[in-house]
Amino acid sequence: MSSNDESDRKIILHPVINSLQKLAVYDLKDWLYIVGTNNEQTSFRLLRISRMEAKNLVIKDDGKEYSSQEIQGVISKDNKSGKAATRSVSAFGIVGFVKFMEGYYMILITKRRPVAAIGLHYVYKIEETAMFYIPCEAIRVSHADEHRYLKMFQSVDLSSNFYFSYSYDITNTLQVNMAVPKVLADNIEKQKDNKKRLWEYDIRSRPNRRFVWNEHLTSAVEDILHPDWILHVTHGFVGQSVLSIFGRPVNIALIARRSNKYAGTRFLKRGANFDGDVANEVETEQIVEDMGVSSWQVCPRISSFVQIRGSVPGHWSQDVTKIVAKPAISYDLSDPFGETAGKHFRSLIERYGTPIVVVNLVKQREKKKHESTLSDQYITDISYLNQFLAPQHHIVYVPFDMARKNKGSKANVLGRLARIAESNISKTGIYFCAKDTEQLQTGIIRVNCVDCLDRTNTAQFALGKYALAKQLKKLGLFGDEQLDFDCDCTRLLEVLYEDHGDTLALQYGGSQLVHRIKTYRKTAPWTSQGNDIMQTLSRYYSNTFSDAEKQHAMNLFLGLFKPYENDIPIWETMSDFYLHNPSSRKIPRLLRERLPITQWWGEEEVDNMSLAVRCRNAIVTPLTSKSPVDAYSDFHRPHEYTYLSTVFTFNMCHTIRDFAPPNVSDLSPFTVRSSRRREDVKGGRSAQYSSASSNTSSDSSLQESEEDEVKTECSTPTRQSAAEVPNSPWSKALPPIVKLQLPSPQDMSLYQRYVLVGKQATDKNEKYLDPEQLLMKTLDGSKDRYKSDVPKVSKASLDLYEKYVSKKYDTLGACIMSDQVEKYARYRNNQLFIYPAVGWDY
């Protein structure tokens, strides 16, 4: 990442890549040894965990880096059993440590799957985890409630939409991740008289704690372990597809971050708590990256648009004791000064700036008041809060009764939402970054209905559709500001947002979306009505019978409830009100909360409020040496032998392969297709790589720790048979041209030697070896030293080449006339205008 200030000074930031991407756990009776290494297995670290503590966690990190031979020597020296140390489990990272009534458990990631690539950074989805009980069985003190707590904790399925990255901070937006930390900018500003014009730094981002779901699990070790051991896991949705614009690939990623504040299930978590944290708050970011640019460091071309969803801020709830389809909505606590709403909007202003645009999809008028109760209170709170703000910082309230506007066969809900999107995105803008250009998004658009599920997802799709057109236009890839609904580009985005909506609906409501985007477009087939009924019943059953247990599990997982000896167990508590409202027990109140009610936005003056917020919290150190993990090698993996069909970027959902109709000559993703939407897209390849259906996915890019173990020696790549080679995703679209054959044993042996030479050449911990020592004899028995004689060139050839370079003679030896020389010079400078000059703005 780079940033230019007002002068020609330049700051280059090198993100620190987590070097511990493969782990091996060794059980040495009294101690657990965890060996961590990078993908190339050139650097190792060691973690020791005592198994002789029944209640406490004793963990030691010496902070040293070892070579392969050194780490083997340390394990052999400390192994006093006399037997060879055996690997208990292999993993890709540590989620954290947790304790109930007995000893500590360690949670490891044993399977992972790449789901997105942003720049040179992979984002992984957790596919499988393992819990390892640390204390020895000989000293274990049993407790009657331990098994029930363990079962409740494991009911939070970590293989269901939990994500992490070794190098990219997915808890922060792209606009924040591309920023220069304020501490660093201020430091360079103080040195403005310095003649130095280039600064290079290593930077390790600190996560946004609101979206870190394993914060409680890592709290016991985060201050004593090296940062490379810590992974920050977020919950929500991540999906990515490829938009092909005449062969130029453009990646479209959708990242949804679910807040861990006031988190819970549908009917048990409504409104907001006393700190202004609302239920079902999700930050959705749409990232568009031009992959036609070869160098991320030199010329990144990327854009993002951020929007959020969340419940109506206020103390309201629904009575679920009565078995009815729509429980009555009631306000439990009167808030005449809008303090709760003020705290919520203050948090949004601190995180995103102004303006805050509120798109309220709740019903406005009803014969019998139900949803309209929320709308009436909502507009009252916003009107009260706005009277204390300057006009340029007012909260923009946009009511849109989506249910009423959808009545009738000729209703055009998406058209009305498109106009709302155009009007309000022009206020906030989008984030865009090119080589010498950067534009910030100011403020945020907040969308809500009652549940923040079906209607909200459709409205967010409409906002994302208009934002995508502006992003493509900024990148110079599209000339209009509106995308047609029936083009391949919009269909690809629709599939992403439906996967996004299904995933979030399952997490909060217990079922997939009931009313989808095509329901509001009036294009849903009549057969979908049966599916809608089944989803409604599934949601009703989940809310009635299983939400309470899910809420207990979530409170335990997030550390809101901590079990203690002789304390009431969580399943016997009557309410979790005090768990989610810790501020109600604070006496006296914090100084920050002593501000006048009329100054609800914070401590800064109303005229000094910033439009754009870009505060990045990071650890910055001057660049002293090359990072042990190279970003290019970490992303492209040149040291690994892989099939193209197993590479994630090759298998992503693609507009030409998965959306364009067969046998068409116009492959533009912006062409309006006359045929109906292909229904098999959602259930075909896109579903295979979506997070909503990833629990049963058999993706070839899935990485299991058992198949990718940490090794301390260079090993021969496993050779697969023809039957085991995965089918190419293009095999159905293109006929086979040539028959593919597996590499011969000689080629595999040559490749192995090539990898070994590369590792020895880049290993810092060992001396360079002579390549001739690594070469083996060829098939004919002679030793290949790669020697060749210098070619001999005759004097006549040199004279002819000299005349050719001086442009005096052509290849036939004939004299070139002066007018021909002039014409050639004009041709070389493109002054004959044979071809029109086409420039590309970077």
Whether 460 shows a pLDDT value over 80: the answer reads: yes
Instruction: Centre a 10 Å sphere on the Cβ of residue 773 and count the other Cβ atoms it contains.
Output: 7
Regarding predicted confidence, which is higher, 704 or 333?
333
Strands 431-433 and 22-27: unpaired
Q: What is the pLDDT of residue 510?
A: 82
Inform me whether the pLDDT recorded for 537 exceeds 80. no
Q: How would DSSP label each residue in 213-250?
A: TTHHHHTTTTTTS-GGG----EEEEEEEEEEEETTEEE
Q: What share of the chain is helix, strand, coil (3-state, %, to 5)?
A: 30, 20, 50
Quote the pLDDT of residue 19: 87
What are the angstrom distances between the C-alpha of 751 and each of 132, 251, 485, 725?
Answer: 38, 32, 49, 19
Q: What's the pLDDT score for residue 245?
A: 93
pLDDT in tens, 42-97: 889 999 999 999 999 999 998 889 988 899 888 888 877 667 677 888 999 999 99
731 pLDDT more than 90:
no
pLDDT tens, residue by residue, 67-78: 888 998 888 888
- The pLDDT tens digits of the residues spanning 248-270 come to 999 999 999 999 999 999 888 99
**pLDDT confidence tier of residue 107, bands split at 50, 70 and 90:** very high
Radius of gyration of the chain (CA): 30
What residue type is 370 in one-letter code? H
Whether the CA torsion 468, 474, 477, 481 is positive or negative: it is positive
496 burial type by CB count under 10 A (0-12 exposed, 13-18 middle, 19+ buried) = buried
More confident residue, 584 or 245: 245
Q: Is residue 504 part of a domain?
A: yes
The torsion angles phi and psi of 755, rounded to 5 degrees, stand at -65, -40
Range in 150-159, 303-312, 817-826 the model is least confident about:
817-826
Whether residue 707 is predicted with pLDDT greater than 60 in this model: the reply is no
Question: In this structure, is residue 271 part of a structural domain?
Answer: yes
What is the pLDDT averaged over residues 132-136?
A: 93
Question: Which residues are 446's β-sheet partners?
Answer: 308, 358
| DSSP letter assigned to residue 79 | -
- Kindly provide the b/e burial profile for residues 245-257, where b requires at least 16 CB atoms within 10 angstroms of the residue's own CB: beeebbbbbbbbb
Last residue of a domain, one of 586, 609, 624: 586
Whether residue 316 is predicted with pLDDT greater than 90 in this model: the reply is yes
Give yes or no for a contact between 61 and 229, defined as CB atoms under 8 angstroms apart: yes
Supply 731's token pair. 């095999």
Look at residue 751 and tell me if it is in a domain: no
pLDDT band at 499 (very low <50, low <70, confident <90, very high): very high
Higher pLDDT pick, 403 / 768: 403
Which residues are paired to 22 by β-bridges?
37
In terms of pLDDT, which residue wins out, 172 or 745?
172
Mean pLDDT calculated for residue range 343-355: 93
Question: Is residue 513 predicted with pLDDT exceeding 80?
Answer: yes
Q: Residue 384 is inside which H or E element, if any?
A: helix 372-386
Average pLDDT over residues 218-227: 92
Distance CA 130, CA 111 (A): 10
Which residues lie closer than 8 Å to 152 by C-beta, 6 or more apart? 549, 552, 553, 556, 570, 571
Q: Mark which of 586, 615, 636 sits at the end of a domain.
A: 586
Instruction: Report which residue type is found at 361.
Output: L
Domain for residue 710, yes or no? no
Q: Is residue 545 one of the residues assigned to a domain?
A: yes
- Top-confidence residue, 585 or 42: 42
pLDDT tens profile 734-751: 455 455 677 888 788 788
Q: What is the pLDDT of residue 116?
A: 96
Sign of the C-alpha dihedral, residues 650, 651, 654, 658? positive
Q: How many domains does the chain have?
A: 2
Query: What's the CA gap between 772 and 783, in Å, rounded?
Result: 9
Give me the amino acid identity at 793. V
**In a domain? residue 50:** no
In this structure, of 317-331, 533-547, 561-575, 627-641, the range with the lowest mean pLDDT score is 533-547
Give the least confident one: 309-323, 491-505, 721-735.
Answer: 721-735
Domain boundary among 586, 612, 630: 586
Contact of 161 with 236, CB cutoff 8 Å = yes
Q: pLDDT tens digits for 613-641?
A: 777 888 887 777 666 677 788 888 887 88
86 in a structural domain:
no
Residue 572 domain-assigned (yes or no): yes
Q: What's the pLDDT score for residue 678? A: 43
Single out the residue of 744, 767, 730 nearest to residue 650, CA to CA: 730
Q: Calculate helix-pair angle for 547-557, 146-154, nearest 10 degrees.
A: 100
Domain with 824 in it: 792-842
User: How far separated are the first and last CA of the chain, in Å rounded?
Assistant: 16
For residue 6, how far is the Cα from the chain centroid?
32
Strands (E), 652-732: 653-654, 703-704
Q: Which residue has the tokens 């477009």?
A: 521
Give every CB contact of residue 163 below 8 A, 6+ residues apart in sequence.
Answer: 115, 123, 124, 125, 126, 170, 233, 234, 235, 236, 238
For residue 702, the model assigns a pLDDT of: 64
Q: Is there a contact between 288 and 472 (Cβ–Cβ < 8 Å)?
A: yes
